Amino acid sequence: MELVVYGIINSITLSLISLGFTLVYSISRVPNFAHGALYVAGGYLTWVFLNHFLGIPYFLAILLGVIITSAVGAAIYQFILVRIRGMEISEIIATYAIGLAILEGLRWGGLRGGTFVLPAFFPGSVNILGASVDYQRLIIVGAGVLTFIILYLFTRFTKVGLAFRGIAQDERAAMMLGINSDMTAVLSLAIGSALAGLAAILLLPLGNIVVEGGYNVLVFAVAVCVIGGLGSWGGVIVASFIIGFAQILTEYFISAHYQMVVALLAIIITLLVKPSGIFGKQKELEERV
């Protein structure tokens, strides 16, 4: 029973991490390799607001952190990516370079060691089905589910959300219907970065803010997205449950060291068996070559 509870928590954590990446890729077709960096930056900004602007309540610090992270994401598109749109090689290199610059800049600026800790929203823990779960993890599950519901409603029932889906399905047809492709892409990067920041703020109270976290988040986000099918939202949920449970099971039965190996094996098996991922059906032709 313990395994099920921890597995669900781990899976929701993974899907929170990878939601932003998949959103950006599905809409703007930019593989945002700065995702992990934005995650760490979101957590760090919140920490700065919390500790260096005395008197700001935690809630406000979180809000500011998320908003600024999302502004950074939008700026990355507006000032850099828009100029190299469509040149796949340049896009990949540029986002990767920006991500590295943010992460290594933070490391150089002193982000190391265990001093950077966000407090939990509510301290304490509760006993669920024989497993002790602290409140922060419950909040993660709640917030994760809530984020999914909000995103689902947003993409079905608002004008901007429908424009997102239009661009994701067929960019040219959407442009003919008067949807501004660049504007949508800026918005998608803003929302994707906001999701990265949100994930950071929810997850980081469980540990320290460290630069390595950025690389781990990027690797896991990418793993989940490849397995679920790049740009597929349903795939993200299913794939994060697969990897999440696989990780918890290996951790329980073998050793915690093998978590990364599990992700790697899952990617390789997916690429060999069904390259477009679990839910990438309609884009299968495009993915293969």
Partner 1 sequence: MRKERIDRGLKVRTEGIYAITSAREILYLMGPRILLIVGLLALPFVFELAPYWKKVINIMCAYALLALSFDFLANYVGLVCLGGAFFTGIGGYFAAIFNVELGMPVWLSMPLAGVAGAIFCTVALLPCLPLRGVYFAIVTLMYPLLFTRIIEALDILGGTNGMTGLDALPNAYVENYVIIVVALVFLFAMRRFVNEDIGLVLRGVKDNDQSVRASGISVTRMRIIGVFIASLLGCFAGAYIAHLYMWAGISLFALDFSIIPIAAVVIGGGGTLVGALIGAFILVPLSEVLRAFGTFRIVIYCAILTGFIVFKSEGIMIYLQRKYHQFERWVKV
| 196/217 Cα distance (integer angstroms) | 9
Cβ count near 108 (within 10 Å): 10
Please give the DSSP secondary-structure letter assigned to residue 204: G
Dist CA 42 CA 47 (whole Å): 9
42 binds partner 1 (CB under 8 A): no
Q: Which residues ranging from 87 to 146 are in contact with partner 1 (CB under 8 A)?
A: 88-90, 92-94, 96-98, 100-101, 104-105, 107-108
- Closest to partner 1 by CB, 31 vs 42, is 31
Stretch that binds partner 1, among 42-50, 113-121, 140-148, 258-266 (CB under 8 A): 258-266
C-alpha distances out from residue 106 to 16, 38, 76, 100, 195, Å: 23, 11, 17, 10, 20
Contact positions with partner 1 (CB under 8 A) in 148-167:
none
Per CB under 8 A, the segment of 131-139, 153-161, 197-205, 213-221 that binds partner 1 is: 213-221
According to DSSP, the residues that pair with 126 across neighbouring strands are 133
Per-residue mark of binding to partner 1, 48-67 (x: CB under 8 A): --------------------
Core vs surface per residue 82-95: b (16+ CB within 10 A) or e: eeeeeeeeebeebb
Residue 152 neighbours by CB distance under 10 Å: 12
Nearer to partner 1, 161 or 275 (CB): 275
Give yes or no for residue 185 binding partner 1 (CB under 8 A).
no
Q: Which residues bind partner 1 (CB under 8 A)?
A: 31, 33, 80, 83-84, 88-90, 92-94, 96-98, 100-101, 104-105, 107-108, 215, 218-219, 222-223, 226, 230, 255, 257-258, 260-261, 263-264, 267-268, 271-272, 275, 286-289
